[in-house]
Every structure is written in C-alpha cells, then in structure tokens.
Chain A
Amino acid sequence: MSSLARSSLVALALSASLGTAVGAETGIDVQHALFVPNRASASIAVIDIRTDQVVATLPVGNVPHQVAVSDITNQMVATNTADDTITIVDLASGASRTMPLAHEPEHMELGPDGHTLAIGNIGAGAVSLVALPEGRELHRVTGLSQPHNLTFSPDGKRLYVANLGANHVSVVDVAAGRVVDEIQVAPPVEVASRQPADGEYQGIINVTRTPDGRLGFAAHGEGNRLAVLDLRTGVVKKTLELGELPWRAYSTADGRYMLVPNNGDATLSIIATADQSVVATLPSAEDITGVNTGWFETTAFALSRAEKKAMVYDLTSLSAAGEIALPGTPETGVTTPDGTKLYVALSDTDQVAVIDVRTRQLVKTIDQVGDEPWGVTLEGAMNYCH
C-alpha cells in the first residue's frame, strides 16, 4: 500500500473484527456495514448495524453523493460530485484511489456481476461504465439528457438510463458502451409561457424494475403519468395517470407493489404490479425523497424532507397508518434485508435515525455521523438515492 493510500486511513476508527469478510486492516464487515456519505465533510461514515455505532470514517472527495458497495470485489465507491471524481476504497486494506470522470458524477448502479459500475455524470449528460477490479473506465456514453438514476437488466447486458431532462429512457448496450434504443415514456411537454427554462423540469427520475426484470416503471414528472415498460421488448406496455409531479416508483421487496409519491399534490399512488393498476391513492406529505418498506412487506414509510417526518402506510389494508416525527431533515433511507430496521440519514442534525419497522416507532438516533449525512447504503438491501 502506498503512503498516500495509507494516509487515507488516518481517520479510520477501528472496531473489533467480527464475523466473516471482515477487512483485515479496516475491521469493516461489509455484511453488517451501513455506509453514510457526509456531503459537507467529504467522508463516508461506516456504521455497524449490529451495534448501531460508527466504527470507521473513510475520507473521500468533496460533496460525496452516493455510495455503492460490491461484496464481490469488497470495494466501496463514492461519487465526489464537486470534484468530478469517484473514490474507490478497498474495504479489506482501506487503500483508496481517485478516478476522474465527467462533470458531476452523482448516481451509481452496480451491475449484477458485482464488477461493472455505471455512474451518471449528470452535469455532462454522460454515463461512465467502470470495471471495478481494474479500476478503469471502460466506456463513456454521451448524448444523454441529465442522466439521473440507472438500472441494469437482470443479466447485466442492458442499462436503462432515466433522463431527467427529457421524456425518454435511454437503453445502453453495456458491452458496446453505446445507446441502442430510446423508449419514449411520454409525449413532449407543452408549455404556455415565455420563459419555460426555469430549471424545474422534471422528466424521468428512475426506471424501477420488478424483481424478475420483466417490467420497468418510469414516472414522468411533467406529464403526471407513469409508463410501464416491457423491458424485454423496449415498448411502453401501459400508461397510468397519477397525481401531480410523480417523483419515482419504489418497489416492495416482493415486487407486489410500486409506490409513487406525487410531490406536486402530496399524495402517494400504490400500483399493483400484477395488473399494473393504481389500487390506492393516499394522502402523503410534502417533498417525499424516499420510500422504504419492511416487516414482511406489510409496512411502508415515505420520508418527507419538508415536514421532517415519515408517513406510515399499512400495505395489508392499503391505508395510511400515522406518521413518525423525525428530529432532523430526512434524505434517504434503507431497510435491513430482514425488514426489521429502517435507517434514515438526517442531513441538518448530522444523525442517522433508526426506526423499528415492526412497531413503526423511532427507537434511536446515531449522533455525530459526519457533516450533512446525505444517504444510507447497505450491501444486499434495496438501496436508492435522491
């Protein structure tokens, strides 16, 4: 390990090594590690979910936005949005390296092989395809319109790019590194204005796949609609009218429902994936930045950034089931793979909230996580970013 890489371990606070796949030098157990990017302190906090204690702090570049973790290569990657780079950390040794990409790398998606990482450079209209074992950018796919979230097909051969600035999903051939199709999700938007370019255009945030990979659900904000895509044929199978400015679809772990917050009118649409119909539209809250589910997929939580709370929904009765006040501004959350605990990053109080999914209660906060925690990532869980 180089001295430079060694220096990146200065801030590492080690815990006792427990379980398997524990980093020999870092002590980070990737199976039980929650990664929290701290936007304002250029670091990633690592929390052991068995103890809910911060066990390490990894320095990265400026304004880290999202973390991706591969248990295949035992690496963690952070997008450093302000530096136009990513930091790749070997979780065993703690060695890190920085790779320059295009302008404003933000969102990432790890391919099913655990080796291929797709990174959206939202400011450049480009997606980088990186081979993690070699630490090399294989392709840079250009000509996209504010690429937001990215979704791999189950076999990893296709990448679906949600274009926030447009009305279509771009389909990328991963091996060839080029766009091979564009799926029109909505017709072009009409405006009655002299000044339409105000920076609030909301095209497509995400393509949310069913677990079997057959269908993709792509909400189109400006169109107040959601398109159901047949991912085998690349055609729009169905279009659903939703509420005002739908954000994106979040799948339950069992793939039974898609939950879509409509941020324009503060409602939540619940869509049954079996027949792709809206089965409930429930009151929600302002500025929902994420939806998580758990406890045998009986419960959903919608995180309201503006109102600092989690709306609770009962997925058995498809009804609202109260709300949980949060001590800070929620950004995104992640549920443990067993569905029992929900972690939520609170950006203005530098905390991570822990919610017991079964009892639907806030049970603790993890304090002093870092400056402006922006998200949470857990290997093997249903991670997302905003």
Chain B
Amino acid sequence: MGRHARRCDELLPLSPWRGAAAAALGWAWLALPPLPAVGAGQAAQPPTLHSTEEIGRHLAALQARCGEGEACLRAGLADSLPASLLQPLPPPDSDRIRWASSLPSLGQVIQLDAATRLIALDRFGRRVLQELPAALPGQGALVLDLRANQGGDLARMLKVAGWFTGGIKGAMRRAAAGQVELLDVPAPAGQPFRGRLTVLIGPATASSAEALAALLRRHAGAAILGAPSAGKTYLQTIWPLGQAWQVLVPTAAISLPEAGWTGGLRPDGPLPPDWAALMRPRESP
C-alpha cells in the first residue's frame, strides 16, 4: 500500500459524537479526516502462514530428536521457520498457577475531567472480564488507552469488545489454510458502555489490541487518537516443546471483514497535550 493510499477503514464515516465533541471542545482536528500516517509495522512484510498439521508433525519430530537442547532445536527450525520464533517458557509460578496472583489487565484508571474517565487496558489477562466492567463508568465519556497493549487472547478480546459494542455477528475475519471464518463478538454479561468513546493507540499497540481498536471504531463510533499501531495482522499458534521452550508459528491472518490494519492502524488525530500531561508515560515497543 502506498504512503497516501486510503484504506476502507479510513473511509468510514466519522462518528456523530466526534463532530459534536470537536465543536464543543475546540478540538478542530477531531473533525478532520484521518491523518495519512504510516503504521509502525508497515515496513515489515506479513510472515508466511503455515499449516498447523504440517508444522505439528515437524515440531513433534524435532522434539523427539532434540529434547530440550537449544542448539539442536534452533538448527532444526532453521530450514523451516525463523529461529526467532523459538522462545523460552517462563518457569512455573506456584501462586500464578493457583490464581493466588494474576497479572492485572488494567493499568492507570483516572478521571481526566468530571465527565471523562481514562482506563488503560494494558493486557487481555485472565481477569479482564471482571476488571474492566468494574471500572467502566456508568455514564459520561471514556478514553480507553491501548498504547501499552501488545495483544493477547483473541477470544477474550472479542468478549471485551462486547462491553462496548454489544453482540455482533461476523465482526472479525480469520483466514487460515485457504479457509475464511467469521468470528462473532459475544454479547456481554451486563449492560454495554454506550457513552462517548475515545481509543488511544501507539506503536506498541499490537495484534488483538489493534483489532479491538478497529472494532470499536467500526461498531462503537470510537475516535482513535495517538500514533500508528504496530500492524500485526496474524495469529500465532503456540507449540510447547517440553518444559523449556515454545515455538510461535504464524498460522492465520486476522482482519475486520471490511478492512485490516496492514501497516498499522492509523489514528484520527494525535493525543491531546492536556491529556498527555495527566497520564503516566506508556511503555515503548
């Protein structure tokens, strides 16, 4: 895609609140068309997608031959997959296994002003479906900060999206091995948030976090602010190799049915400086 080419998602109509909010707040840029920004991941070519059956056979044979020997595993992978896909597994953590401790999904939660709450959704962790609904405001405006969110479980992300969009049939597209599957956003367990929504993205925003931003732009009328996102448009299948290693194999492409985010999702505008002053610095990619 050329630098100034337009993608389908850029051509979606601006949500009604954006024009009104821009006028009310004097943010003229909010009502402008999206900036022709370049995604952070545009230079990177999408990886080759592999068939899970084929890779499964290959990795099973590799593990039988190498056990957990790193050099042998890397050498064995080299002729079929980039060695960077081999990653060490974190050691088991007794408290995390038993849920005595969990990584929080939410980072900063603050009131930007009397009517606007900011929630930094940093992960799609295993408690996200408890943490997020508890933090949502009943009314007013919400800024959902995805700038540190590097993605995670796709199904859990779709459940998160439901808290803003309600249930949607065929909201996402997954393509693997020549087959296309449409994925639904499930209806949430409670009342979805229906106030004004702004989503913040940046170069670290990746994969299912980019998908969430795109879904909220498409189905919840969200304005997207910040900097272009990472542009990770594929799913990886985790293949555990014994106790110490795992291989993350690209196996499927993801997008919205209408458009994807190859080259990175482009924001509608930059982060307002007065908001930035209130927020903690976000993680860099």
Contact = CB atoms under 8 A, between A and B. Distances in A.
A194 B90 contact: no
B96 A190 contact: no
Given A123-B91, A193-B150, A199-B90, A145 B242 contact: yes
6 contacts: A144-B242, A164-B97, A190-B252, A196-B236, A196-B238, A197-B89
A199 B96 contact: yes
A203 B154 CA distance: 17
Nearest to B246: A197
Contact of A187 (B52, B92, B230): B52
Contact of B240 (A167, A198, A200, A224): A167
Interface in A94-128: 104, 106, 122-125
Q: How large is the interface on A (under 10, 10 to 19, 20 to 34, 35 or more residues)?
A: 35 or more
A197 B90 contact: yes
B130 interface: yes
B99 A287 contact: yes
A72 B63 CA distance: 40
B32 interface: no
B67 interface: yes
Contacts of A244: 129, 156
B237 A192 contact: no
Interface of A: 65, 81, 104, 106, 122-125, 142-146, 148, 163-167, 187-203, 222, 224, 244-245, 263-266, 286-287, 289, 305-306, 386
Contacts of A166: 240
Given A193-B152, A193-B153, A266-B130, 5 more contacts: A194-B151, A194-B285, A197-B88, A198-B123, A199-B92
A188 B207 contact: no
Nearest to A148: B97
Contacts of A195: 150-151
B232 interface: yes
Contacts of A386: 98
Contacts of A167: 240
Nearest to A263: B99
B151 A125 contact: no
B252 A194 contact: no
Contacts of B63: 143
Interface of B: 52, 56, 63, 67-68, 87-94, 96-100, 102-103, 123, 125-126, 129-130, 150-157, 189, 206-208, 211, 230, 232, 234-240, 242-244, 246, 248, 251-252, 254, 285
Contacts, number: 141
Contacts of B246: 196-197
Contact of B238 (A146, A148, A191, A265): A191
Contacts of B151: 191-195
A124 B92 CA distance: 10
A201 B240 CA distance: 11
Nearest to B128: A264
A287 B91 CA distance: 21
Given A165-B243, A192-B152, A197 B87 contact: yes
Contacts of B235: 190-192
A195 B155 CA distance: 16
A189 B130 CA distance: 22
Given A122-B92, A187-B52, A192 B154 contact: yes
A195 B94 CA distance: 21
A106 to B, nearest CB: 7
Contacts of B211: 192
Closest 5 CB pairs of A and B: A125-B243, A193-B151, A192-B208, A192-B207, A194-B150
B99 A193 contact: no
Contacts of A306: 99
B129 A264 contact: yes
Nearest to B60: A182
Contact of B236 (A104, A143, A145, A191): A191
A188 B56 contact: yes
B232 A194 contact: yes
Given A165-B240, A193-B207, A123 B126 contact: no
Contacts of A265: 129, 189
A164 B92 contact: yes
B254 A188 contact: no
Nearest to B252: A190
B239 A194 contact: no
A306 B126 CA distance: 14
A197 B251 CA distance: 18
Contacts of B239: 188
Contact of B207 (A124, A164, A194, A289): A194
A192 B153 contact: yes
Contacts of B242: 125, 143-145
A189 B67 CA distance: 21
A192 B254 contact: yes
Nearest to B176: A190
A224 B154 CA distance: 13
Contact of B98 (A146, A222, A264, A289): A289
Contact of B103 (A142, A190, A200, A286): A200
A164 B77 CA distance: 24
B129 A305 contact: no
A268 to B, nearest CB: 15
Contact of B237 (A123, A124, A165, A189): A189
Contact of A146 (B92, B100, B125, B189): B92
A12 to B, nearest CB: 28
B230 A194 contact: yes
